[in-house]
Amino acid sequence: MKIIYFGSTEDSIYTLDILKKNNFEIFAIFTKTSKSLRRGQNTNLTSIENYAIKNKISINKPPSLKNDNELIRYFRKTKADIFIVSSYGIIIPKEIL
């Protein structure tokens, strides 16, 4: 089963980790963009980003999912079996669902 996972908080890692440990194919992770610590400084990676890097899962951080034809094409092309959302914090438009 090909899964695209949407999550942004540290709490959402719990769900993601259960899926991974039960051998579900996490095709990609979508999360919120990282926030910079202070003006002009680099951003720190979030827990979700670190998890994705550690587990070699594609990570995507679009600022919005609205009116993005490229993202809509991406979702159609991947032909994911299911989207799982856990503490994502961004509205997913019906065109994507």
> Domain coordinates of the chain in residue numbers?
2-86
Amino acid at 60: N
**Kind of pairing between the strands at 58-60 and 2-7:** unpaired
At residue 71 the predicted structure's pLDDT band, cuts being 50, 70 and 90, is confident
pLDDT of residue 31: 92
In the prediction, which pLDDT does 59 show?
A: 94
pTM for this prediction: 0.84
CA atoms within 13 A on the CB side of 4: 18
- What is the share, in percent, of the chain residues with pLDDT greater than 70? 91
Is pLDDT above 80 for 41? no
CATH of 2-86, one of 3.40.50.450, 3.40.50.300, 3.30.300.30, 3.40.50.170: 3.40.50.170
Task: Report pLDDT for 28.
Answer: 95
